């Protein structure tokens, strides 16, 4: 499979693993043991394409919400369509944020989006900036060149396997308890939408390919990180879907094409699935913990006054 096709296929493996491996017990409330992650504004975790909030107590961001809460963060986890445009997903995310804000008296949120969760978060920052303190993209595409689009052949893949992809998205939505979320494979035009977002929502985008964008635009902080690993653990079944490309990538998204605002690092030894700490935390030998990364990043946001 080409890299962007892997973006569709690999998260499904994490879902399947929920059925084939022993799942941890359901989440229990934990008393904070530190204030390391106690950001001023709550954190919202936004899943990527074919992602989910949680399934049978298994987080898409595996072990991350509990770790952040244990260290003082207020964390919300979004549930948006598995197979749909970033614009529609963004509207779904915005609705949830408005509901949380009204219920809990929240003024702003720190959005952290993995994969398609990144452009989904950028959409909200663009249409409702008063609700957003920061946007962090983790392995999230911001730009795809014509050459990369030709290499990935994503449009052909969606055309050839559209019905299968849409069915998979509907299944994931149903099994995660969000079966009413609309799935529309015809809306998945990644390059077309990213090109449009570059015009509508340019905040944080680099002026040159592989550069850095402005970290603060209209009071919103933009940051990003991604991996440059592909085959990182022979026991991890999702590695089968990660492919080497003509440019460094995490097996699904090109490293330079994931730059947004301040680039924390674009060379973590993780692939696209490692970035969300799946499958069940299987990463490469001596690779840093993805879960710890999210904790460190929450502390980074805290120190920025966010």
Convert the pLDDT of each residue in 110-126 to its tens digit.
999 999 999 999 999 99
pTM: 0.90
The pLDDT > 70 percentage for the chain reads 88
pLDDT at 269 over 70: yes
Q: Regarding predicted confidence, which is higher, 290 or 185?
A: 290
Q: Mean pLDDT throughout 224-245?
A: 86
pLDDT of res. 12: 52
Q: Positive or negative CA dihedral for 199, 166, 236, 24? A: positive
For 66, the 3-state DSSP assignment is helix
Q: For residue 175, give both structure tokens.
A: 């099994």
Residues 139-146, mean pLDDT to the nearest whole number: 91
Active site residue 6: no
Is 41 an active-site residue?
no
Please say if the pLDDT value at position 26 is more than 60: no
Closest among 292, 299, 291 to 37, alpha carbons compared: 299
Give whole-number Cα distances, 167 to 127, 188, 241, in Å: 30, 14, 19
Indicate if the alpha-carbon torsion angle 47, 83, 251, 237 is positive or negative.
Answer: positive
What's the pLDDT at 174? 92
Enumerate domains of the chain plus CATH numbers. 3-303 (3.40.50.1820)
Q: Is the pLDDT of residue 23 over 50?
A: no
**Both tokens assigned to 147:** 């050459």
Least confident of 101-105, 162-166, 284-288: 162-166
Looking at residue 185, its pLDDT comes to: 87
Mean pLDDT computed over every residue of the chain: 88
pLDDT of amino acid 159: 64
pLDDT band at 188 (very low <50, low <70, confident <90, very high): confident
Q: Classify residue 167 by burial, with Cβ atoms within 10 Å: 0-12, 13-18, 19+.
A: middle
What pLDDT shows up at residue 6? 47
**pLDDT tens column, 149-181:** 777 645 556 667 778 888 888 988 899 898 999
CB atoms under 10 Å from CB of 163, counted, come to 9
Q: Provide the b/e sequence for 94-103 (b: ≥16 CB within 10 Å).
A: bebbeebeee
Which contiguous run of DSSP H or E holds residue 60?
Answer: none
Taking Cα atoms as reference points, which of 198, 282, 298 lies closest to residue 238?
A: 282
Number of other CB atoms surrounding residue 161 within 10 Å: 16
Catalytic residue among 59, 250, 266, 274: 250
Average pLDDT rounded to a whole number, residues 198-222: 97
Catalytic residue among 272, 274, 278, 297: 272
The predicted structure's pLDDT at residue 18? 47
Residue 39 confidence (pLDDT) above 90: yes
Active site residue 115: yes
How does DSSP assign 34-63, residue by residue?
Answer: -STT--SS-EEEE--TT--SEETTEESSTT
With a cut of 60, say whether residue 92 has pLDDT above it: yes
Write down the catalytic residue from 6, 115, 176, 224.
Answer: 115
């Amino acid at each position: 499979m080409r890299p962007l096709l892997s973006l569709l296929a690999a998260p499904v493996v994490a879902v399947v693993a929920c059925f084939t491996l022993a799942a941890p017990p359901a989440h229990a409330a934990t008393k904070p043991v530190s204030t390391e992650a106690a950001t001023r504004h709550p954190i919202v975790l936004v899943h990527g394409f074919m992602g989910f909030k949680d399934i049978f107590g298994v987080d898409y961001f595996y072990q991350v919400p509990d770790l952040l809460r244990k260290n003082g963060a207020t964390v919300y986890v979004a549930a948006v369509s598995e197979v749909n445009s970033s614009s529609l997903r963004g509207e779904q995310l915005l609705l949830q944020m408005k509901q949380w804000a009204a219920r809990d008296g929240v003024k702003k949120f720190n959005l952290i989006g993995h994969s398609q969760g990144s452009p989904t978060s950028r959409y909200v920052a663009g249409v409702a900036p008063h609700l957003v303190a920061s946007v962090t993209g983790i392995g999230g595409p911001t730009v795809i060149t014509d050459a990369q689009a030709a290499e990935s052949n994503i449009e052909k893949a969606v055309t050839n396997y559209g019905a299968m992809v849409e069915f998979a998205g509907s299944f994931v939505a149903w099994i995660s308890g969000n079966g009413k979320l609309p799935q529309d494979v015809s809306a998945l035009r990644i390059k077309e939408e990213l090109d449009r977002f570059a015009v509508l929502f340019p905040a944080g985008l680099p002026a040159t390919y592989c550069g850095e964008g402005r970290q603060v635009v209209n009071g919103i902080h933009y940051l990003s990180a991604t991996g440059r690993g592909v085959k990182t653990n022979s026991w991890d079944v999702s590695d089968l879907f990660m492919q080497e490309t003509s440019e460094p990538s995490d097996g699904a998204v090109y490293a330079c094409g994931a730059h947004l605002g301040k680039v924390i690092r674009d060379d973590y030894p993780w692939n696209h699935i490692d970035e969300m700490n799946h499958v069940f935390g299987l990463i490469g030998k001596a690779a840093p913990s993805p879960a710890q990364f999210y904790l460190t990043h929450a502390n980074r946001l805290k120190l920025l006054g966010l």
